[in-house]
């Protein structure tokens, strides 16, 4: 079961976030769509409930898919962009 929630428009409730994370399999945080405090809370609760966590730079399908792959493989939560800067 996949549960998604758009936290960009919700008032951040630590209890609600805690409940959502406790009842999920993995946590993917799209940092382009939320406030910093929400990402901190998500990180805290994911660690507390021993849930795999991954950070997506953007909320595009590809960004989220890559983050899910990192979470499932136990890779680091954050991966820098692979674009080469000239």
What pTM was estimated for this model as a whole? 0.74
CB count within 10 Å of CB 76 equals 10
Helix (H) or strand (E) holding 55: strand 53-56
Alpha-carbon distance of 16 to 78, in angstroms, equals 24
CA angle centred on 12, ends 73 and 2, rounded to 5°? 35
Residue 30: the pLDDT is 86
- Residue spans of alpha helices (H) in 1-86: 14-22, 36-48, 61-73
Least confident of 2-11, 16-25, 33-42, 54-63: 2-11
Mean pLDDT to the nearest integer, 60-82: 84
Residue 47: the pLDDT is 93
Residue where the block lists tokens 């079961």: 1
Mean pLDDT to the nearest integer, 22-27: 90
């Amino acid at each position: 079961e996949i549960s998604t929630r758009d936290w960009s428009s919700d008032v951040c409730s630590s209890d609600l976030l805690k409940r959502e994370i406790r009842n999920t399999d993995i946590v993917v945080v799209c940092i382009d769509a939320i406030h910093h405090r929400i990402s901190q809370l998500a990180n805290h609760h994911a660690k507390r409930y021993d849930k795999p966590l991954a950070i997506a730079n953007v909320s595009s399908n590809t960004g989220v898919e890559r983050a899910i792959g990192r979470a499932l493989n136990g890779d680091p939560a954050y991966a820098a962009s692979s674009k080469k800067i000239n």
